[in-house]
Amino acid sequence: MTMMNIGIDTDQFIFLFSLLLITGVLAAKFSYKFGVPALILFIGLGMIVGSDGLGIIYFDNASLAQLFGILALIIILFEGGLQTKWDNIKQVAYPSLTLATLGVVLTAVFVGIA
């Protein structure tokens, strides 16, 4: 796999990456202090530095964005599974299984009738 040519030197890349990382950490601390979801601040940060904002970062590689999205989803689901307590699962197991089963059966019946 070859390194993509993004038009900047390694020094500039490391500087921009560290600047974004520091800004992300500060945004997370800000969001925790004021009760704003950190995801909203990260999306806003991406819009500001992206090609639709200041244009500092230009990105048009859809397959790489999909790869990052899939990896992020894997990490989010894994972390969510680690944080979930068995007592919480036991409380919602019966209602969720009932809802899922009835949802599938009723959907199959209605689609079969139509």
CA-nearest of 66, 65, 33 to 51 is 65
Within 55-85, residue ranges assigned H as helices are 62-83
Is 0.85 topped by the overall pTM?
Answer: no
CA-nearest of 24, 20, 11 to 59 is 20
- Convert the pLDDT of each residue in 79-102 to its tens digit: 888 888 889 889 999 999 999 999
pLDDT of residue 111: 93
> How is residue 5 annotated by DSSP?
-
- Convert the pLDDT of each residue in 51-63 to its tens digit: 777 877 777 778 8
